[in-house]
Amino acid sequence: MTRSDSKPADARPHRRSTAVRPSDDTLLDGVLTVFAAHGFDNVTMDQLATAAETSKPTLYSHFGSKDQIFDACARREAARLLEWMRESYRRAQGFELDRHIATTTRALFDFAATHAEGFHILFGSATAGRSHAVRTATIQSVTDTVAELIRHEYGGPDLTWGASADFCAATITDIGVRGVQQALVQHLDFTAAANLTISIIVAAMRHLDPAAVRAVDAGAARASGELIRVGASEGVSRPRAPALASSRAAPRNDVLDSAIRAFQRGERVELHAVATELGISRTTIYRRFGTREELLGLTLARQFEQVITAIDSRCTSRGVHRICEVFDQVIRQLSADRALRTYLQNESPAALRLVTQADGPVHRGSVALVEKLIQRAQEQDGYRPPIDRTTLAYALVRLGESFLYGNAVADVEGDMDHLLEMQTTLLGVSGPVGGP
């Protein structure tokens, strides 16, 4: 007697072959639809496993609990949204503010149109409580970028920016997100809804009252000072008082070192993240360092200085041979730096412009460091460079940049030996010098 299943074959849950272990992304693609449609509370692990065409033990082994599965899903969609927005910022580089707002706002609508389930996970009412932390961090990242854009592109003799830029950026971001939410809820035409949202934001920015901007900045400054005085006079810790007090005295190197740590972790360096770590305000960092790009330039310049100084201190050769050895090891170390490669690939062409612009801190600082190496070889070891010191330092740095940054963006292996040969030729050295 043969056994007969009670369910037809096409009604049984499908399972992927156990011979091939599914990737995290494959599993998240499956559970995303269920979370987006039903939220978190109304979904069971059985439903998630069925949607992902796998088993509950597999989901547990990849992510852990249902909470952890949802968190992984939300973080992935947040990363996708942020990369989508960053690409829109890259496309809008060099545009005036109105066109920049139009490009980036339309990108937000385009993301929701093409990644509707991801947008629902982050901003939908069914998952609002569960995704609150990821949603807040995502909005803050977008807000910080918009604030930098406002400070850099929108201003003049009668309009300067402090905390008011963060306020305006938060409002703009909120309008954009709420515009998309309404378009989804009311089933509106996305193109028409995006155009209306853009017109609202542009009209608001065009008619800003400079007196109102100054009043917000003045009020923020007074509030900061008042909290500092209250904390000092009462000798007790009040909310935010210690952070604001420390913002007055946070050493410059502490800010740069915090940014370096974030950069080396592979994170996008953000003003608010550095401010949070050090217990100071974003406005304080902006006033001292400028926009995110300006802080990032100073951060990379400091990191390169640390790399060159550390390698130079370990070298035992002298004269021009020491220059060759330092140059060779620096290029090798930076070529292997995953954080630097990730940054150059993710934020190109803005990243390339930042690290190679002639008057920027990265290029200018690198030239100055190499020139000091040449000067020391001249003064202490009698080295006679074939061309003047400053020009030689500039040529060596440009040579290293073309090799290092070109290969990072193209994601190909460079010919290190050929680079070393060109370097020794510039320095006027015969024969191989240095090495791995």
Rounded Cα–Cα distance for residues 283 and 262 (Å) = 19
Residue labelled with tokens 């807000």:
143
Q: Is residue 113 part of a domain?
A: yes
- Residues 233 and 345 occupy one common structural domain: no
Task: Identify the domain containing residue 328 by its residue range.
Answer: 297-427
For residue 12, pLDDT over 80 is answered with: no
- Are 357 and 342 in a shared domain? yes
Where a domain ends, among 208, 243, 269? 208
| Spatial contact of 280 and 250, defined as CB atoms under 8 Å apart | yes
Task: Give per-residue pLDDT as tens, 394-431.
Answer: 999 988 888 877 665 554 455 677 778 888 888 887 65
Is 5 part of any domain? no
Give, rounded to a whole angstrom, the gap between the first and last alpha carbons of the chain: 74
Claim to verify: residue 55 and residue 172 sit in the same structural domain? yes
Name the burial class of residue 251, with classes exposed (0-12), middle (13-18) and buried (19+) by CB atoms within 10 angstroms of its CB: exposed
Give the other-Cβ count within 10 Å of 159's Cβ. Answer: 14
**Are 113 and 97 in a shared domain?**
yes
**Would you say residue 9 lies in a domain?**
no
For 229, the token pair is 């005085």
Number of domains in the chain: 3
Measured between alpha carbons, how far is 75 from 69 in angstroms, rounded to an integer? 10
Residue 376, token pair as written in the block: 């020391």
Confidence of residue 434 (pLDDT cuts 50, 70, 90): very low
pLDDT classification of 195: cutoffs 50, 70, 90: very high
User: Residue 193: pLDDT above 90?
Assistant: yes
Confidence of residue 243 (pLDDT cuts 50, 70, 90): very low
Instruction: Band the pLDDT of 106: cuts 50, 70, 90.
Output: very high
Is residue 316 situated within a structural domain? yes
pLDDT at residue 413, rounded to an integer: 53
pLDDT at 130: 79
Judged against a pLDDT cut of 80, whether residue 1 lies above it is answered with: no
User: Does residue 184 sit in the same domain as residue 44?
Assistant: yes
pLDDT of residue 252: 78
Pair 148, 82 in one domain: yes
Q: 182 and 271 share a domain?
A: no
367 lies in some domain: yes
Question: What number is the average pLDDT over the span 8-37?
Answer: 68
The reply to whether 122 and 72 lie within a common domain is: yes
Write the CATH number for 409. 1.10.357
Q: Are residues 267 and 348 in the same domain?
A: no
Point out the domain boundary residue: 208, 237, 266. 208
Of the three residues 147, 173, 208, the one that is the final residue of a domain is: 208
Q: How many Å apart are CA 290 and CA 296, to the nearest integer? A: 10
Q: Is residue 92 part of a domain?
A: yes
pLDDT above 90 (res 171) = yes
pLDDT for the residue 109 = 94
Check whether residue 228 and residue 357 sit in a common domain. Answer: no
Q: Are 137 and 188 in contact (CB under 8 A)?
A: no
Which CATH number fits the domain that encloses residue 188? 1.10.357.10
Are 95 and 197 in a shared domain? yes
* Domain match, 281 and 385 both: no
The verdict on residue 202 lying in a domain is yes
Cα distance between residue 1 and residue 33, in whole Å: 42
What secondary structure letter does DSSP report for 12? Answer: S
Q: Which of 351, 344, 398 is nearest to 370 (CA)?
A: 398
pLDDT digits (tens, 9 = 90+) for 378-396: 999 899 999 988 899 999 9
Taking residues 126-155, what's their average pLDDT? 80
Residue 269 lies in a domain: yes
* Three-class secondary structure assignment of 283-311: HHHHHHHCCHHHHHHHHHHHHHHHHHHHH
Provide the whole-model pTM. 0.54
Report the alpha-carbon distance of residue 418 to residue 415 in Å, rounded: 5
